[in-house]
Amino acid sequence: MATIAAVPATGTLINTTTEGGIAWIEMNDPPANTYTYEMMQQLDGAILRARMDGDVHIIIVRGAGDKFFSAGANIKIIAALNGHTVGGGLEIALAADIRLARQDAGKIGLPEVALGVLPGTGGTQRLSRLVGKSRSIELMATGRTFSFEEAEEMGLVNQVFARDTFFEEVTEYARQFLPPRKAARAVGRIKRSVQSGLEMSFAEGLSLERELQQHLFQSEDAHEGLAAYVEKRTPNFKAR
């Protein structure tokens, strides 16, 4: 297992390990893993290095320890919510593509209103895009925190996994997107088409979709996938 770490004068607040196409990025300031300028700086650097690593296809962000994901203040990524995920911690998770939560591990929510402020690190914009305008206003205006199971019901969390096997299940979940099982380039283009398309008009989104599809048709994986379909065999994707 390879280990990469950013080490400024303030010390290591982010740990990164990579193995089998997955980069685990851990916010390491227990018990609450509250974010600071230094942590965000290191987190950005770790994500950028992982994105530039040709052997990494999935990034998973987690919090150190068992109590908090993050209680504090852009990512193809999965957020592994292994503990309380509130305030800025949830705003970090909202920037991820997929959120997986640990059963009975804590609460989730945006309680900034109790401090007289709003969720100002993307929370007001990302939450409303996930759960809708009315519900997002209610959640932020009341500031209430709630269970991961309720978050799953409203579409804020994709899945809740068992507490004792959480990280094993998250790892297996992530592996389904890796070659040779999946065409990682296609997964990435799906992400880009959805994320960017939501910020465009419908016609512009369709144009982007066609452009990305044309690029994929020229890839080795598309040739392999089509050949495997015709030959009735399992494809062997290579992320090329």
pLDDT the model gives residue 233: 93
pLDDT the model gives residue 126: 93
pLDDT tens across the length of the chain (240 residues): 343 333 333 468 899 999 889 999 988 887 777 777 788 889 889 999 998 998 899 999 988 877 778 766 544 588 889 888 999 889 989 989 999 999 988 899 999 999 999 999 899 999 999 999 999 999 999 999 999 999 999 999 999 999 999 999 999 999 999 889 889 899 999 999 998 998 899 999 999 999 999 999 999 999 999 999 999 999 999 988
Catalytic residues: 91, 112
Instruction: Find, among 125, 123, 24, the residue nearest to 72 by Cα.
Output: 123
Q: Please state, in angstroms and rounded to a whole number, the distance separating the CA atoms of residues 206 and 169.
A: 35
Whole-prediction pTM value? Answer: 0.81
Domains present along the chain, CATH in parentheses: 2-175 (3.90.226.10), 184-231 (1.10.12)
